[in-house]
Structure 1
Amino acid sequence: MYKVVFFLFVVFTANLQAQEPTQIAVEKSVWGVQTGLLGIWAHNESRLTSSVALRSELGFDGGFWGAGDTFDYALLPVLRIEPRWYRNLNRRVRKGKSIAGNSADFLSLKFALLPDLFSISSEDTIDVVSSAGVTFNAGMRRVYGQHFSFELGLGAGVAANLEEPYLSADPYYFLPDIFLRLGYSF
Protein backbone atom coordinates (compact mmCIF):
# COMPACT_ATOMS: atom_id res chain seq x y z
CA MET A 1 0.00 0.00 0.00
CA TYR A 2 2.81 2.43 0.87
CA LYS A 3 4.48 1.73 -2.46
CA VAL A 4 1.29 2.66 -4.34
CA VAL A 5 0.85 5.89 -2.36
CA PHE A 6 4.53 6.76 -2.84
CA PHE A 7 4.27 6.03 -6.58
CA LEU A 8 1.15 8.25 -6.94
CA PHE A 9 2.83 11.03 -4.94
CA VAL A 10 5.92 10.95 -7.20
CA VAL A 11 3.82 10.93 -10.40
CA PHE A 12 1.59 13.76 -9.14
CA THR A 13 4.47 16.03 -8.05
CA ALA A 14 6.42 15.34 -11.26
CA ASN A 15 3.34 16.32 -13.25
CA LEU A 16 3.04 19.59 -11.31
CA GLN A 17 6.66 20.50 -12.03
CA ALA A 18 6.31 19.62 -15.71
CA GLN A 19 3.68 22.31 -16.32
CA GLU A 20 5.00 25.39 -18.13
CA PRO A 21 4.92 28.71 -16.32
CA THR A 22 2.52 31.38 -17.53
CA GLN A 23 4.02 33.21 -20.49
CA ILE A 24 4.62 36.92 -20.06
CA ALA A 25 3.21 38.53 -23.20
CA VAL A 26 1.05 41.33 -24.53
CA GLU A 27 -2.65 40.62 -24.87
CA LYS A 28 -3.77 38.67 -27.93
CA SER A 29 -6.22 41.45 -28.90
CA VAL A 30 -7.33 44.67 -27.20
CA TRP A 31 -10.21 46.75 -28.57
CA GLY A 32 -11.05 50.20 -27.23
CA VAL A 33 -11.93 53.84 -27.68
CA GLN A 34 -9.88 56.82 -26.53
CA THR A 35 -10.21 60.55 -26.31
CA GLY A 36 -7.70 63.31 -25.75
CA LEU A 37 -7.60 67.09 -25.96
CA LEU A 38 -7.70 67.01 -29.75
CA GLY A 39 -9.73 64.05 -30.94
CA ILE A 40 -11.48 60.73 -30.51
CA TRP A 41 -10.31 57.33 -31.80
CA ALA A 42 -11.22 53.63 -31.93
CA HIS A 43 -8.30 51.17 -31.83
CA ASN A 44 -7.23 47.56 -31.82
CA GLU A 45 -3.93 46.12 -30.62
CA SER A 46 -3.09 42.64 -31.94
CA ARG A 47 -0.18 40.57 -30.68
CA LEU A 48 2.64 39.93 -33.17
CA THR A 49 5.19 38.52 -30.70
CA SER A 50 5.29 38.23 -26.92
CA SER A 51 6.37 41.88 -26.58
CA VAL A 52 5.22 43.49 -29.87
CA ALA A 53 1.66 44.48 -30.74
CA LEU A 54 0.33 46.07 -33.91
CA ARG A 55 -1.99 48.95 -33.13
CA SER A 56 -4.47 50.08 -35.77
CA GLU A 57 -6.50 53.19 -35.14
CA LEU A 58 -9.31 55.05 -36.89
CA GLY A 59 -10.73 58.30 -35.62
CA PHE A 60 -10.75 62.06 -35.75
CA ASP A 61 -7.87 64.41 -35.02
CA GLY A 62 -8.98 67.85 -33.94
CA GLY A 63 -7.73 71.37 -33.94
CA PHE A 64 -8.91 74.78 -32.84
CA TRP A 65 -7.99 78.37 -33.46
CA GLY A 66 -9.40 81.80 -32.83
CA ALA A 67 -8.82 85.35 -31.79
CA GLY A 68 -10.96 87.75 -29.81
CA ASP A 69 -14.61 86.72 -29.96
CA THR A 70 -14.18 83.95 -32.54
CA PHE A 71 -13.41 80.33 -31.78
CA ASP A 72 -13.22 77.80 -34.60
CA TYR A 73 -12.60 74.05 -34.57
CA ALA A 74 -12.16 71.18 -37.02
CA LEU A 75 -12.20 67.40 -36.78
CA LEU A 76 -10.45 65.47 -39.57
CA PRO A 77 -10.48 61.69 -40.19
CA VAL A 78 -7.20 59.87 -39.52
CA LEU A 79 -5.91 56.32 -39.97
CA ARG A 80 -2.88 55.12 -38.01
CA ILE A 81 -0.85 51.90 -38.00
CA GLU A 82 1.67 51.55 -35.19
CA PRO A 83 3.86 48.60 -34.21
CA ARG A 84 4.56 48.92 -30.46
CA TRP A 85 7.35 47.22 -28.56
CA TYR A 86 6.29 46.90 -24.91
CA ARG A 87 9.76 46.95 -23.42
CA ASN A 88 9.29 46.34 -19.70
CA LEU A 89 6.73 43.53 -19.38
CA ASN A 90 9.11 41.18 -17.50
CA ARG A 91 10.25 43.87 -15.09
CA ARG A 92 6.64 44.85 -14.29
CA VAL A 93 5.76 41.22 -13.55
CA ARG A 94 8.88 40.78 -11.35
CA LYS A 95 7.84 43.86 -9.35
CA GLY A 96 4.31 42.50 -8.96
CA LYS A 97 2.71 45.09 -11.22
CA SER A 98 -0.05 44.30 -13.68
CA ILE A 99 0.48 43.97 -17.43
CA ALA A 100 -3.23 43.43 -18.14
CA GLY A 101 -4.47 45.29 -21.20
CA ASN A 102 -0.84 45.89 -22.27
CA SER A 103 0.04 48.04 -19.25
CA ALA A 104 3.70 48.83 -19.88
CA ASP A 105 6.12 51.33 -21.38
CA PHE A 106 6.53 51.20 -25.15
CA LEU A 107 8.54 52.38 -28.12
CA SER A 108 6.73 52.67 -31.43
CA LEU A 109 6.91 53.74 -35.04
CA LYS A 110 3.60 55.41 -35.93
CA PHE A 111 2.40 55.75 -39.54
CA ALA A 112 -0.50 58.19 -40.04
CA LEU A 113 -2.68 59.13 -43.00
CA LEU A 114 -4.96 62.17 -42.94
CA PRO A 115 -7.04 62.00 -46.13
CA ASP A 116 -9.05 64.90 -47.54
CA LEU A 117 -12.35 63.00 -47.41
CA PHE A 118 -14.46 65.31 -45.26
CA SER A 119 -14.21 67.47 -42.17
CA ILE A 120 -16.40 68.44 -39.27
CA SER A 121 -15.85 72.13 -38.72
CA SER A 122 -17.32 75.34 -37.36
CA GLU A 123 -16.61 76.95 -40.74
CA ASP A 124 -18.39 76.10 -43.99
CA THR A 125 -15.24 76.09 -46.07
CA ILE A 126 -12.11 74.67 -44.56
CA ASP A 127 -9.12 73.77 -46.73
CA VAL A 128 -7.82 70.31 -45.82
CA VAL A 129 -4.67 68.94 -47.45
CA SER A 130 -4.15 65.16 -47.51
CA SER A 131 -0.96 64.24 -45.70
CA ALA A 132 0.97 61.26 -44.41
CA GLY A 133 3.55 61.05 -41.65
CA VAL A 134 5.74 58.80 -39.61
CA THR A 135 6.91 59.41 -36.04
CA PHE A 136 9.08 57.58 -33.52
CA ASN A 137 7.43 57.60 -30.08
CA ALA A 138 8.14 56.64 -26.50
CA GLY A 139 5.19 56.28 -24.18
CA MET A 140 3.41 54.47 -21.42
CA ARG A 141 0.07 52.70 -21.24
CA ARG A 142 -1.70 51.86 -18.00
CA VAL A 143 -5.01 50.11 -17.48
CA TYR A 144 -6.97 50.77 -14.29
CA GLY A 145 -9.64 48.36 -13.18
CA GLN A 146 -10.42 46.14 -16.12
CA HIS A 147 -11.48 48.71 -18.69
CA PHE A 148 -10.11 52.24 -18.18
CA SER A 149 -6.82 53.15 -19.83
CA PHE A 150 -4.39 56.05 -19.75
CA GLU A 151 -1.68 56.73 -22.34
CA LEU A 152 1.03 59.34 -22.32
CA GLY A 153 3.73 59.73 -24.94
CA LEU A 154 6.14 61.92 -26.82
CA GLY A 155 7.67 61.59 -30.25
CA ALA A 156 8.83 63.29 -33.42
CA GLY A 157 9.04 62.54 -37.09
CA VAL A 158 8.37 63.83 -40.57
CA ALA A 159 5.19 64.33 -42.61
CA ALA A 160 4.44 65.19 -46.22
CA ASN A 161 1.61 66.86 -48.09
CA LEU A 162 0.10 64.59 -50.74
CA GLU A 163 -1.78 67.10 -52.92
CA GLU A 164 -0.90 69.69 -55.55
CA PRO A 165 0.14 72.54 -55.38
CA TYR A 166 1.80 71.61 -52.08
CA LEU A 167 3.90 68.89 -53.76
CA SER A 168 5.72 71.34 -56.04
CA ALA A 169 7.22 73.24 -53.09
CA ASP A 170 8.96 71.43 -50.22
CA PRO A 171 6.16 69.08 -49.12
CA TYR A 172 8.04 67.70 -46.06
CA TYR A 173 7.79 69.15 -42.59
CA PHE A 174 8.68 68.33 -38.98
CA LEU A 175 5.91 66.48 -37.12
CA PRO A 176 5.92 66.54 -33.31
CA ASP A 177 3.72 63.95 -31.59
CA ILE A 178 2.63 64.59 -28.01
CA PHE A 179 -0.31 62.64 -26.67
CA LEU A 180 -2.31 62.25 -23.50
CA ARG A 181 -5.31 59.97 -23.84
CA LEU A 182 -8.00 58.47 -21.65
CA GLY A 183 -9.82 55.40 -22.89
CA TYR A 184 -12.11 52.48 -22.37
CA SER A 185 -11.18 48.93 -23.43
CA PHE A 186 -13.79 46.31 -24.28
Structure 2
Amino acid sequence: MLRIIPLLILFIFSAINGSAQNSETASVEKSIWGLQTGLLGFWAHNESKLTRTIALRTELGFDGGFYGSTNDLNYVFVPILRVEPRWYRSLDRRFEKGKNTANNTADFLSLKAIFLPDLFTVSNDDVRVSSTLGLTANAGMRRVYWDHFSFELGLGAGFAADLEDNYRDAIYFLPEVFLRLGYNF
Protein backbone atom coordinates (compact mmCIF):
# COMPACT_ATOMS: atom_id res chain seq x y z
CA MET A 1 0.00 0.00 0.00
CA LEU A 2 2.77 2.45 0.90
CA ARG A 3 4.50 1.81 -2.46
CA ILE A 4 1.33 2.56 -4.41
CA ILE A 5 0.89 6.11 -3.04
CA PRO A 6 4.11 7.61 -4.53
CA LEU A 7 3.41 5.90 -7.87
CA LEU A 8 -0.13 7.27 -7.90
CA ILE A 9 1.10 10.79 -7.12
CA LEU A 10 3.70 10.60 -9.88
CA PHE A 11 1.09 9.36 -12.37
CA ILE A 12 -1.39 12.14 -11.52
CA PHE A 13 1.16 14.94 -11.78
CA SER A 14 2.63 13.58 -15.03
CA ALA A 15 -0.85 13.26 -16.56
CA ILE A 16 -1.64 16.85 -15.64
CA ASN A 17 1.46 18.11 -17.43
CA GLY A 18 1.23 15.76 -20.41
CA SER A 19 -0.34 18.42 -22.63
CA ALA A 20 1.70 20.38 -25.17
CA GLN A 21 3.52 23.40 -23.80
CA ASN A 22 3.46 26.80 -25.44
CA SER A 23 6.25 29.35 -25.08
CA GLU A 24 3.55 32.00 -24.56
CA THR A 25 2.40 30.53 -21.24
CA ALA A 26 3.38 31.12 -17.66
CA SER A 27 5.71 28.86 -15.70
CA VAL A 28 6.67 28.43 -12.07
CA GLU A 29 9.95 30.01 -11.00
CA LYS A 30 13.15 27.95 -11.14
CA SER A 31 13.86 28.45 -7.41
CA ILE A 32 12.36 30.66 -4.70
CA TRP A 33 13.81 31.03 -1.20
CA GLY A 34 11.84 32.70 1.55
CA LEU A 35 10.82 33.14 5.17
CA GLN A 36 7.25 33.01 6.44
CA THR A 37 5.36 33.51 9.65
CA GLY A 38 1.81 32.69 10.66
CA LEU A 39 -0.27 32.84 13.79
CA LEU A 40 1.54 29.86 15.32
CA GLY A 41 5.01 29.50 13.87
CA PHE A 42 7.78 30.59 11.54
CA TRP A 43 9.44 28.74 8.65
CA ALA A 44 12.15 28.93 5.98
CA HIS A 45 11.25 27.45 2.59
CA ASN A 46 12.40 26.73 -0.94
CA GLU A 47 10.26 26.09 -4.01
CA SER A 48 12.06 24.39 -6.89
CA LYS A 49 10.62 23.91 -10.37
CA LEU A 50 9.82 20.33 -11.35
CA THR A 51 7.69 21.02 -14.44
CA ARG A 52 6.07 24.06 -15.99
CA THR A 53 3.23 24.11 -13.42
CA ILE A 54 4.60 22.00 -10.53
CA ALA A 55 7.07 23.11 -7.86
CA LEU A 56 8.49 21.08 -4.98
CA ARG A 57 8.29 23.06 -1.75
CA THR A 58 10.53 22.07 1.16
CA GLU A 59 10.12 23.78 4.48
CA LEU A 60 11.88 23.76 7.83
CA GLY A 61 10.69 25.70 10.83
CA PHE A 62 8.77 25.72 14.09
CA ASP A 63 5.06 25.08 14.60
CA GLY A 64 3.60 26.45 17.80
CA GLY A 65 0.63 26.10 20.04
CA PHE A 66 -0.96 27.16 23.31
CA TYR A 67 -2.55 25.01 25.98
CA GLY A 68 -3.60 25.28 29.60
CA SER A 69 -6.46 26.20 31.88
CA THR A 70 -8.06 29.50 32.87
CA ASN A 71 -5.27 30.28 35.36
CA ASP A 72 -2.33 28.79 33.46
CA LEU A 73 -1.50 29.43 29.80
CA ASN A 74 1.49 27.59 28.31
CA TYR A 75 3.11 27.68 24.88
CA VAL A 76 5.16 25.17 22.91
CA PHE A 77 7.17 25.37 19.66
CA VAL A 78 8.37 22.19 17.95
CA PRO A 79 10.62 21.75 14.90
CA ILE A 80 8.87 20.60 11.71
CA LEU A 81 9.89 19.48 8.24
CA ARG A 82 7.45 19.63 5.32
CA VAL A 83 7.84 18.40 1.73
CA GLU A 84 5.07 19.41 -0.64
CA PRO A 85 4.67 19.13 -4.41
CA ARG A 86 2.41 22.01 -5.50
CA TRP A 87 0.46 22.13 -8.75
CA TYR A 88 -0.12 25.81 -9.58
CA ARG A 89 -3.36 25.24 -11.44
CA SER A 90 -4.27 28.84 -12.32
CA LEU A 91 -0.98 30.04 -13.81
CA ASP A 92 -2.19 29.95 -17.42
CA ARG A 93 -5.54 31.57 -16.64
CA ARG A 94 -3.86 34.39 -14.69
CA PHE A 95 -1.30 34.87 -17.48
CA GLU A 96 -4.02 35.06 -20.17
CA LYS A 97 -5.91 37.69 -18.15
CA GLY A 98 -2.72 39.75 -17.73
CA LYS A 99 -2.52 39.16 -13.97
CA ASN A 100 0.68 38.73 -11.98
CA THR A 101 2.23 35.23 -12.04
CA ALA A 102 5.70 36.17 -10.72
CA ASN A 103 7.11 34.13 -7.83
CA ASN A 104 4.39 31.48 -8.30
CA THR A 105 1.46 33.82 -7.75
CA ALA A 106 -1.47 31.48 -8.38
CA ASP A 107 -3.94 29.05 -6.83
CA PHE A 108 -2.55 25.61 -6.04
CA LEU A 109 -3.36 22.05 -5.08
CA SER A 110 -0.81 20.09 -3.07
CA LEU A 111 -0.03 16.93 -1.19
CA LYS A 112 1.97 17.78 1.92
CA ALA A 113 4.15 15.31 3.86
CA ILE A 114 4.83 16.46 7.44
CA PHE A 115 7.43 15.21 9.92
CA LEU A 116 7.62 16.42 13.53
CA PRO A 117 10.75 14.87 15.08
CA ASP A 118 11.13 14.34 18.80
CA LEU A 119 14.33 16.40 18.93
CA PHE A 120 13.49 19.23 21.30
CA THR A 121 10.73 21.67 22.22
CA VAL A 122 10.75 25.32 23.17
CA SER A 123 8.21 25.83 25.95
CA ASN A 124 7.55 27.45 29.30
CA ASP A 125 6.52 24.04 30.64
CA ASP A 126 8.12 20.59 30.65
CA VAL A 127 6.51 19.22 27.48
CA ARG A 128 7.41 16.18 25.41
CA VAL A 129 6.09 15.86 21.85
CA SER A 130 5.98 12.47 20.13
CA SER A 131 7.52 12.05 16.69
CA THR A 132 4.73 12.33 14.14
CA LEU A 133 4.40 11.71 10.41
CA GLY A 134 1.47 13.13 8.43
CA LEU A 135 0.05 13.52 4.94
CA THR A 136 -2.52 16.16 3.93
CA ALA A 137 -4.17 17.21 0.69
CA ASN A 138 -4.50 21.00 0.42
CA ALA A 139 -6.00 23.72 -1.74
CA GLY A 140 -4.69 27.23 -1.41
CA MET A 141 -3.65 30.50 -2.96
CA ARG A 142 -0.32 32.29 -3.07
CA ARG A 143 -0.03 35.99 -3.85
CA VAL A 144 3.19 37.99 -4.07
CA TYR A 145 3.23 41.78 -3.82
CA TRP A 146 6.07 44.18 -4.65
CA ASP A 147 8.23 41.25 -5.88
CA HIS A 148 9.14 40.08 -2.37
CA PHE A 149 6.20 39.96 0.07
CA SER A 150 4.03 36.83 -0.04
CA PHE A 151 0.63 35.93 1.33
CA GLU A 152 -0.65 32.34 1.47
CA LEU A 153 -4.03 31.05 2.49
CA GLY A 154 -5.13 27.42 2.39
CA LEU A 155 -7.25 24.61 3.70
CA GLY A 156 -6.79 20.86 3.72
CA ALA A 157 -7.14 17.59 5.57
CA GLY A 158 -5.36 14.29 5.94
CA PHE A 159 -4.04 11.80 8.43
CA ALA A 160 -1.13 11.66 10.85
CA ALA A 161 0.51 8.85 12.77
CA ASP A 162 2.19 8.99 16.14
CA LEU A 163 5.42 7.07 15.50
CA GLU A 164 5.97 6.29 19.18
CA ASP A 165 2.46 5.03 20.04
CA ASN A 166 1.89 1.27 19.79
CA TYR A 167 -1.84 1.47 20.42
CA ARG A 168 -4.82 1.55 18.06
CA ASP A 169 -5.28 5.33 18.25
CA ALA A 170 -1.84 6.06 16.78
CA ILE A 171 -3.42 7.25 13.48
CA TYR A 172 -5.68 10.29 13.61
CA PHE A 173 -7.43 12.88 11.42
CA LEU A 174 -5.31 15.98 10.69
CA PRO A 175 -7.12 19.17 9.59
CA GLU A 176 -4.95 21.91 8.11
CA VAL A 177 -5.70 25.63 7.91
CA PHE A 178 -2.93 28.09 7.13
CA LEU A 179 -2.57 31.85 6.76
CA ARG A 180 1.00 33.05 6.25
CA LEU A 181 2.88 36.22 5.50
CA GLY A 182 6.39 36.03 4.12
CA TYR A 183 9.37 37.52 2.37
CA ASN A 184 10.99 36.02 -0.77
CA PHE A 185 14.68 36.53 -1.50
TM-score, normalized by length of structure 2? Answer: 0.86
CA 1:169–1:21: 2 relative to 1, 3 Å: closer
Contact 2:107 2:141 in 1 (8 A): yes
Partners of 1:168 and 1:157 in 2: how far apart? 20
| 1:28 aligned onto 2:27 | no
**Aligned counterpart, 1:63:** 65
Matches within 5 A, 1:105-184: 105-123=107-125, 125-163=126-164, 166-184=165-183
Q: Which amino acid aligns with 2:131?
A: S
* Larger-Rg structure: 1
Partners of 2:159 and 2:31 in 1: how far apart? 29
SS of aligned partner of 2:29: coil
Q: CA RMSD in A?
A: 1.2
SS of aligned partner of 1:101: helix
**Aligned counterpart, 1:44:** 46
Q: Which amino acid aligns with 2:184?
A: S
**Aligned counterpart, 2:7:** none
Counting matched residue pairs gives: 164
Partners of 2:23 and 2:92 in 1: how far apart? 13
Unaligned residue ranges in structure 1 (runs of 5+): 1-19
Partners of 1:155 and 1:132 in 2: how far apart? 16
How far residue 67 of structure 1 moved from its aligned partner, in angstroms, is: 2.3
The Cα offsets for residues 27-82 of structure 1, whole Å up to 9 and x where unpaired, read as: 00000000001100000000000000000000000000132232110000000000
Partners of 1:40 and 1:177 in 2: how far apart? 16
Partners of 1:48 and 1:21 in 2: how far apart? 17
SS of aligned partner of 2:93: helix
Partners of 2:182 and 2:176 in 1: how far apart? 18
SS of aligned partner of 2:94: helix
How far residue 88 of structure 1 moved from its aligned partner, in angstroms, is: 0.7
Unaligned residue ranges in structure 2 (runs of 5+): 1-21
How far residue 22 of structure 1 moved from its aligned partner, in angstroms, is: 4.8
**Aligned counterpart, 2:15:** none
**Aligned counterpart, 2:97:** 95
Partners of 2:95 and 2:132 in 1: how far apart? 40
Partners of 2:111 and 2:94 in 1: how far apart? 23
The Cα offsets for residues 101-158 of structure 1, whole Å up to 9 and x where unpaired, read as: 10000000000000000000011x2021110000000000000001000000000000
Contact 2:53 2:91 in 1 (8 A): yes
How far residue 169 of structure 1 moved from its aligned partner, in angstroms, is: 2.9
Partners of 1:38 and 1:169 in 2: how far apart? 29
Contact 2:151 2:179 in 1 (8 A): yes
